[in-house]
Amino acid sequence: MAVHNATGVAMHSLVSELFPICRSITGNGVRQSLKILQGHLPLDIVEVPSGTQAFDWVVPREWNIRDAYVKDSRGDRVVDFHASNLHVLNYSTPVDRRVALAELREHLFSDPAHPDWIPYRTSYYKDNWGFCVTQKQLESLNDTDYEVLIDSSLGDGSLTYGECLLPGEVEDEVLVSCHVCHPSLANDNLSGISVAAHLAKRLLESPRRYSYRFLFIPGTIGAITWLARNRDCVARIRHGLVLTCVGDPGNFHYKRSRRGNAEIDRAVAHVLGIRDAPHEVREFLPYGYDERQFCSPGFNLAVGCLMRSVWGEFPEYHSSADNLNFVTPAALEESLEVCSAVVDVLERNRTYLTTNPYCEPALGRRGLYRTTGGGGIGQENLARLWILNLADGAHSLLDVAERSGLPFALIADNARELADHGLLIEQPCSTSGES
């Protein structure tokens, strides 16, 4: 997986373009972000009115914000939304008042452990107003009155999400989902948006066995809304990935689907396993990002979550330190390559039947085995022997890769060559074997 600077730079550039926008679970920030994505891929922008029922939930009011500040007695903005949109409590109700420091402090959020960072806080499901400030800002406030303004609106409107379906040879789908509800936070989750968008661009230009559905949705309520509106789609989703925190240089982490050993779980574990780098595969946990909804018991979809550093476990998480320096072109591109390799496994995984079940076929005669004996065996020869030995109709190529410890791509390339020589017959229905 060579890292070509051009791709990584373009991915980082998309992150940078989206960074300044103040997104939330509803509102113009999401809309504006999705319009930028439409410049990269054929994205449908869907609007779902506030008040729409979505399973146990209701699509909330639309939130928009124009300005927000705390001014001191001299009229100076000591906290300014235009300096960072993290300064406003996300989804904050409007306010326009003069308050004493004591009252103001009840509405300020800071992180004493990182005195220079602005924390990111939300209040989606309880009406509140507030500001997030650095610990230093908090400590510099004098015991005087302050003018606070949050020029926001919360009212009927809609929830906005983006959806892009790339049809393939079969209707069976691979789902790639990322959240678009975070404001100026780069790794969580502009990185996921950028990797998903660039993966879609790649797939757009390639032949595809599977159909691919990309979702750019507000976290939780967006996934729930999409699932409620698309229950007919769900049965076609055979594999899926939630992408989050895939832009920092940390090691890869993969959280398995609720099923635990679905083909997507095995494909990601294999791809990470054959890379020469530390990584970790974790068990499913019903807490995290939208895999929580896709893996709710009624759906139980084969959707895992790919990360580099794990949300909540790196200090910069949900703070102003999760910025454009925290994500790198190389890390973004590596994540894209891992996703592509996973897609390659899904696309090329097949089950074959050998035409020579009794003893090995004579590979040498067909030029499929090097002919001077006595030394070692090459990886290609070994791959061929493994493929033929397990070509009993009960083992997929991913099974072969796992059992042999050889890279899937090597297995798949050699299986094609053996099939070209008439030594393997592809079994039908290999995409729907798992349920």
Give the residues lining the site for its own copies (CB under 8 A). 54-57, 109, 119-126, 128, 220, 223-224, 227-228, 231, 258, 286-287, 292-293, 295-300, 312, 318, 354, 356-362, 364-365, 371-377, 381-382, 385-386, 388-392
Minimum gap (Å) between residue 154 Cβ and its own copies: 15
Q: Residue 358 to residues 355, 388, 394, 415: CA-CA distances in angstroms? A: 9, 11, 16, 18
DSSP conformation class of 245:
S
Task: Return the closest-CA partner of residue 239 out of 271, 262, 255.
Answer: 262
Q: Amino acid identity of 251?
A: N
189: preceding bond cis by omega (within 30 degrees)? yes
* Closer of 278 and 287 to its own copies (Cβ): 287
* Closer of 81 and 386 to its own copies (Cβ): 386
* Closer of 120 and 314 to its own copies (Cβ): 120
Minimum gap (Å) between residue 403 Cβ and its own copies: 8
Phi, psi of 292 (to 5 degrees): -55, -40
Minimum gap (Å) between residue 231 Cβ and its own copies: 8
Minimum gap (Å) between residue 228 Cβ and its own copies: 8
| HSE-up (13 A, CA, CB side) for residue 249 | 6
DSSP conformation class of 191:
I
Minimum gap (Å) between residue 99 Cβ and its own copies: 19
CA separation for the pair 363, 377 (Å, rounded): 13
* Closer of 74 and 358 to its own copies (Cβ): 358
CA separation for the pair 126, 32 (Å, rounded): 26
Minimum gap (Å) between residue 185 Cβ and its own copies: 11
* Closer of 37 and 185 to its own copies (Cβ): 185
Query: Is the CA virtual torsion 261, 264, 267, 272 positive or negative?
Result: negative
* Closer of 128 and 251 to its own copies (Cβ): 128
The C-alpha angle 74, 106, 123, rounded to 5 degrees, equals: 110
